[in-house]
Each structure stands twice: as C-alpha cells, then as structure tokens.
Amino acid sequence: MSETVRVGFVGLGDIGGPMATRLARRQAEAGLALGVFDIAAAPVEELVEAGAEAAGGVGALAARSDVLCVMVNDDEQVRSVLDEALAGGAGPGLTVAVHSTVAPGTPAELETLAARRGVRLVDAPVSGGAMGAGTGELAVMVGGSAAAFAAVRPVLDVLATKVVHAGPIGAGTRFKLARNLMHYAAFTAATEAQRLAEAAGLDIVALGEVVRHTDALTGGPGAIMHRDTTAEMEPGSFWFTAFDHLRRLAEKDLDFAIAMAGELGVDVPLARLARDRLAPGLGFPEERS
C-alpha cells in the first residue's frame, strides 16, 4: 500500500454521504486520497466540492483504491458493487469494507468471492446514525482478518471514535445485529410507555425529553452491560450484590406501571414480559417451583 491511502467510497446516501464528506474534509491531515461514486449525480457533485474525486464507475474506482468503502442499501446491492469492483480490475492490494448491515452469512460469501482475486474484505457496519457520521463519532464493528483490519484502520479512525475488531469475518455484522436488536426493542418499549403516559393525560413530548436527558446521564440500557457472561450469578458475588438493588427497584416500578396500565385500559405486554424476564436476564437464578 502506498504512503497515501487511496480510498474509494460507494454509496452517498443518508449515512454514506456524511461519512464520505468527513473523509473528504480530513483527507489531507489523515493521509488519504478520496474518490467517490454513486448512481445519483447530486451527492457526487457535493463530494467533489468537498475535495473528493469523482469516478466513472465502481470498477474504475476500485482499480485506483487501496480501501473501497461500500455503504449501500442491502445485500443485493452490496453483491452488485463487489461484482463490479472485481470485474473492473480490482486485485491484490485492495481491501473492501462493507459498511452496510447485511444478513449474517453474507460477509463470508463476499469474502470468498473477493479472495479469488486476492482482494481482502471486512464487514464493518456502523452505529451512530447520520449525526455520528457527520461528526466522525460513529462506532464501527469490524469482522475480518488482522491484516484486513489493519488495512482499513486508517480510514475507520477518521470516521469513528469507537472501533471494535469483533473477530473473524461476519463478527462485525453479528455484533451490529445484536446491538440493533436492543435498539429496536427499546423503541418498541418506548411506544408502549408513550401509550401509557398518553392515557394518563401526560405530555408525551416532555416524556421523550426526560428519557433522552436521563439516558445521556445513565447510559440507558447499556448501563447494565458490564458482565463478560450471561451465565447465572453466584449469590454474594459482586454483580449479584450490585444488581440486587436494581432488580428490586425494577420489579417495584414495573408492578406499579402494570397496575396503572390495567386501571387505564392500556395493554403493556412488554412491561409484563420485562417483569418476568429482567431478573433471570440479569443473571439471577430463576425461581423454581
């Protein structure tokens, strides 16, 4: 790889656009040279204004790149981009970073295809949304070999403040799917809380403001994610003692919320499930009859 890392970026949408713009604006200080491609002309023009070079197609971009970043919509589009890159002359020296969130088995399939041409590939999905992409504060979860991870690291360090080498190919995608399970399950719980608050005559916009304020202080659901195992805790152990107070508070408050929901005629299935599953989920031994 040359002293200047030649980066290609394919997919300039809601998150890919800010990511590429971040690279364009930091390329000189980071030792990068950025080329971009998208099927839409407008975002390419914006990136050229920011200092990137437009490419005529994926193949041409891949042929001149050391690292090719791919941020398109779905598995089919990722496969199409890789096919074009390999058909266009990409070969040894290129490492492809797939930032799209794809199916768990897709990265290994893509890596096999890329390896036939001597091309390395990592799955490197991101978390942090458009705001994190614009400020360079994304989290990136990477699956792939140590050599492939080292090749893309100079690019990722511009895009993210949290870079995790999660393991071999596919580990980044599995990491992202686990993270997003919590994300969207929490969204669903939020809709349940909104219905309860609305039925109680409360301002649900103000409720959202309180949730965002306090989650920024406490860490939200991530506040309980410090153990390195999900196995049952030993009574008297550090985490057993630390979580016991949390469990008691949670069970009390959930009981009150479920009772209030019953009085107001609001169905709260997630609250009832949380009441049943929080303690064993934390690692407390399940009660056995």
Residue spans of alpha helices (H) in the chain = 16-30, 41-49, 58-63, 75-87, 106-115, 129-135, 146-159, 171-199, 204-218, 238-264, 269-282
Q: How far apart are CA 66 and CA 1, in angstroms?
A: 7
Torsion of CA 103, 108, 111, 112, to 10 degrees: -130
| CA angle, 149 then 98 then 132, to 5° | 90
Among the options 176, 192, 243, 268, which is catalytic? Answer: 176
- Spatial neighbors of 227 by CB under 8 A, at least 6 apart, are 239, 283
Distance of CA 33 to the CA centre of its chain: 25
Q: How far apart are CA 53 and CA 45, in angstroms?
A: 9
Going by the DSSP 8-state scheme, the letter that residue 95 receives in this structure is: E
252 catalytic per annotation: no
Q: Is the dihedral of CA 19, 67, 75, 80 positive or negative?
A: positive
Number of residues written out for the chain: 289
Catalytic residue numbers read 176
